[in-house]
Amino acid sequence: MKKYKSLIRTIILAILLAIVFRAYFFASYIVDGESMEPTLHDGNLLMVNKVLYDWTDVHRQDIIVFHYNEKDDYVKRVIGLPGDHIAMSQDTLYINGTPVEESYLDELRPNDDRVFTGDFTLEGVTGESAVPEGKLFVMGDNRRKSLDSRRFGFINIQSVVGKVEVRYWPMSQLGMTFR
C-alpha cells in the first residue's frame, strides 16, 4: 500500500509540474498555411518558448509566434529589429545596407525565372525609413505566399508569444533548428 501512495504522489507531482510548465513556460501551436514552407509545413505542431524573451532580446532570423489580432496567432521569421533599414533587391535581402544570406530559402526557390521575393524598401511598404522602437519586421519563408510585414506592417514586440523551439509533429519532421 505504501508503494502505491508513493507512486500516486509521484504521478500527481509530475502532472502538476507539466501543467505549470505548459501554462507558464511553453505553448503548443499548430502551423496553419504554407507561408513558412519549406521550414515549417501546414499541420506541424510546434513547442514555443514563452519565457525566453523575458531574459534575452529577439534576434534576427528567430522564428516566432505572435498575436496578429485578438483571435489569430501567426508564425513568421524576424527580419528586422528596431532601427534596422531593410530592402530587397534582385532576390537579395539587405539589412542596414549589408546583404544577408538566407540559405533557408534555397530549398523553396524555384527555377522558373521569376523573382522569389519582390523588390521593396522599408519606406515603400511601411512609410518608415527604419523599424521603429518596440516593433519588428517579420516575413514568411515562402515569400510568394506569405501574409507578412510587407502587407500588414510592423508588429509590436509585446505581441510576441515566444520563439519556436521544437517542431514535434509529425515525428518524421522532428526538429530543433530552423536556419
Classify residue 57: in a domain, yes or no: yes
Structural domain range at position 86: 27-173
Told to judge if 50 belongs to the known catalytic residues of this protein, a careful annotator would answer no
CATH code of the domain in which 99 resides? 2.10.109.10
Residue 29's SS3 state is strand
Is residue 92 assigned to a domain? yes
- Residue where the block lists cell 519532421: 173
Could you tell me if residue 5 is inside a domain?
no
Q: Could you tell me if residue 11 is inside a domain?
A: no
* In a domain? residue 3: no
Q: Which of 107-111, 133-137, 139-143, 168-172 has the highest mean pLDDT?
A: 133-137
Confidence of residue 177 (pLDDT cuts 50, 70, 90): low
Q: Which pTM does this prediction carry?
A: 0.81
Q: Which of 50, 76, 135, 163 is catalytic?
A: 76
Q: Cell digits for 48?
A: 514555443
Active site residue 76: yes
Number of domains in the chain: 1
